[in-house]
Amino acid sequence: MSSQTSSKLGSNASKPAWYLPFLILISGMGGLLAGVDFGIISGALLYLDKTITMTEAEQGLMVAIYFVGGLLAALFAGGLAELIGRKKGMIAAGLIFITSILLIYTSSGFYSLLVGRVLMGLSGGLICVIVPLFMAECLPSYIRGRGTSAFGLMLVAGLPVAGGVAKYFTGIRDKAVDVAAGNPDLIFKADDEAWRMMFLVASVPGILFTIGALFLKESPRWLYRRGRKEEALDVLRLSRSEEQAQLEISEMGEHDGKSDDSTEAGESKASGSLLQRKYVVPFIIACVILACTQATGVNTIIAYAAKILQGAGLDEGDATSKLIIITSINVAFTFLGTILVDKVGRKILLSIGTGGLIFCLVAAGMLFSQFETKRVDASELVQAGLAEDGKSLKVNLEDPAFDQLIGNVPGQLNVVYKFIDSEGKEAKPVVATAFSNANESAGRVLTIEPPSETRWVDVDGKKVEKTIVKDVEKLEISRAYYGPIASGNTGLWITIILSAFMAFFAVGPGVCVWLALTELMPTRIRSIGMGVAMVLNNGVQFLSAFLFPAVVGQYGFYAMFYVWGGFTVIYFITAAFFLPETKGKTLEEIEDHFEGKTKAKA
């Protein structure tokens, strides 16, 4: 059956009008939940660490443990979806999320918070695997791109939603502090309520998603593989014409390796070795696409965009305002990609998107290399700023000695340092940066102090805000470089390039990556394969973010842009030459292509 015939049959009107929009609504709600799930900690952490006693290491663990939970979820999400079904898997993910929010909201100590964060990561990881899987298996081919892309669109939108929630309750907290007029108990209460309410409101999309999932029907392909043909056919009829439903059931039978009368209810017959070309090739392509999506550096660029813009010559205020523009473009072009994906096709959008990314990354690298390659060693000047006790550092970039290093031009100082405690244990290296053209005088002074934390403690039955400084033996400077920063219109050009980068990513990989993950995997390995691919995706994301500060501190921003550009070349080659066009094709037709039964579409 051709894709054109499939599209026409799938668009017939003899089917319920409510189910397709409902499917897409739940997909979007799942994406919104995942976005809010990921982003809410940023604003909450401003006040959480003041009211819950935590060491610096515990604060870092509480943030990072989310990704551990997500990685664990990716390992078993596919198996869980295969075992209990896609619908029950989504309900389980929603319930885990709601449980995590309630646990965090009622927490009075670090360990209950930690468990809550692990559960948040688990729910986010489950949703990112199971929802796109479910949508790909349920939606008709003519709308599968838009329907599945709704997940990615709302995930991106969930990040500013989380920021808006944090901003709203920060405003309420600030008003409460003004009214408190210095009363420590009232200020503590305002801080405590601020972060708790941020998390509590974040439960709303989780509740809506879970309730909505209760009214979904199970994936027809999961039902069919368990011998429940009539149930699968009934589900197909909710979103397809009778003719299309019958044709897809017939295709499922052909690809499941069994006839209508050869399978008992509940059985699932294997169809050959998993090392066949029809399984291995699409699995490898999907893994490359998932890994390279993160290797473009997109999430790292978003996280460090303000620093990148400041390194391009913008002051703090300009960098922050430009960051808002860049993230808004991400949302806008993700919406555009959602509209185009079923009209233009996945292959074309991915090829255009990755090609544009290569241009942007190389252009940004060239701009930064023009001045970053002129950096010089400033270790002697920095070492002179060490305090007598060797535990702190203060370096003023207005010192004429810095002008002698590179001339009287705006400069950037990068210092890589670490603290060593009294037992000889070394903390991980940290990069500190100062700019000679900073608006505020404090920004032109690089100050490094022993790590400290502000927390509320009980003193004579009253809450008192106290700053606790960690005891360290010495501060060790690993590297110190000083070099010119961009001048003239470089900051504007980098802003334009990063905006174009986000537009190309959003309309290409940002929309198509979830489709590639679900459409390419054959039904027999789809759930397990998606879990493996997501583990790879998360691993590359972690490495990109982890290596960024060290690489920038040692070489400069240009090095990271070139590295990302190199991986994006691999991405482009995969999309342009190895990825088949899947627009308008049923999942079974896509399997036929990799089995060699159909010719690749140019």
Mean pLDDT, rounded, of the chain: 80
Which of 468, 487, 506 is at the close of a domain?
487
- pLDDT-based confidence at 596, cuts 50/70/90? low
472-497 pLDDT, tens digit per residue, is 788 888 888 888 877 668 888 998 99
Cα 375 to Cα 398: distance, rounded to the nearest angstrom: 17
pLDDT at 560: 92
Cα 320 to Cα 250: distance, rounded to the nearest angstrom: 56
178-236 pLDDT, tens digit per residue, is 887 777 778 888 888 988 998 999 899 999 999 999 999 998 988 988 889 899 888 88
pLDDT at 273: 53
Mean pLDDT score, 128-134: 86
Question: Same domain, yes or no, for 23 and 156?
Answer: yes
Beta bridge partners of 466: 455
Give, in order, the Cα–Cα distances in Å from 375 to each of 24, 254, 600: 52, 64, 50
312 vs 209 pLDDT, higher one: 209
pLDDT at 553: 74
pLDDT at 505: 92
In a domain, 155, yes or no: yes
pTM for the whole structure: 0.69
Which of 487, 516, 550 is at the close of a domain?
487
In a domain, 200, yes or no: yes
Q: Does residue 171 sit in helix, strand or coil?
A: helix
422 vs 139 pLDDT, higher one: 139
Sign of CA dihedral 209, 212, 218, 219: negative
Residues of the domain holding 84: 18-142+149-254
In a domain, 85, yes or no: yes
Domain count, the chain: 2
Mean pLDDT score, 38-58: 74
Judge whether 41 and 121 are in contact, CB under 8 Å.
no
- pLDDT-based confidence at 41, cuts 50/70/90? confident
152 vs 122 pLDDT, higher one: 122
Give the rounded percent of residues in the chain with a pLDDT score beyond 90.
15
In a domain, 573, yes or no: no
Mean pLDDT score, 363-391: 87
- pLDDT-based confidence at 9, cuts 50/70/90? very low
pLDDT at 1 over 90: no
Mean pLDDT score, 301-315: 77
- Domain harbouring 47, CATH code: 1.20.1250.20
In a domain, 281, yes or no: no
In a domain, 311, yes or no: no
Which of 226, 254, 282 is at the close of a domain?
254
Mean pLDDT score, 559-580: 92
Looking only at the bridges linking them, the beta strands covering 376-377 and 474-484 are antiparallel
Give the rounded percent of residues in the chain with a pLDDT score beyond 70.
85
Residue type, 360: C
**Dihedral pair phi/psi, residue 483, rounded to 5°:** -155, 170
pLDDT at 43: 76
501-524 pLDDT, tens digit per residue, is 999 998 888 888 777 777 777 767
433-445 pLDDT, tens digit per residue, is 887 877 677 778 8
Beta bridge partners of 455: 466
Range 458-466 contact pairs with CB under 8 angstroms and sequence separation of 24 or more: 462/184, 462/185, 463/184, 463/185, 463/187, 463/188, 464/184, 465/50, 465/184, 465/187, 465/188
pLDDT at 330: 80
Residue owning tokens 């199971």: 130
- pLDDT-based confidence at 532, cuts 50/70/90? confident
Cα 176 to Cα 187: distance, rounded to the nearest angstrom: 7
Beta bridge partners of 376: 482
Q: How big is the chain, counted in residues?
A: 602
**Dihedral pair phi/psi, residue 165, rounded to 5°:** -60, -45
pLDDT at 196: 92
In a domain, 122, yes or no: yes
pLDDT at 312: 81
In a domain, 366, yes or no: no
414-432 pLDDT, tens digit per residue, is 888 888 877 767 777 777 8
Question: Same domain, yes or no, for 84 and 216?
Answer: yes
pLDDT at 398 over 60: yes
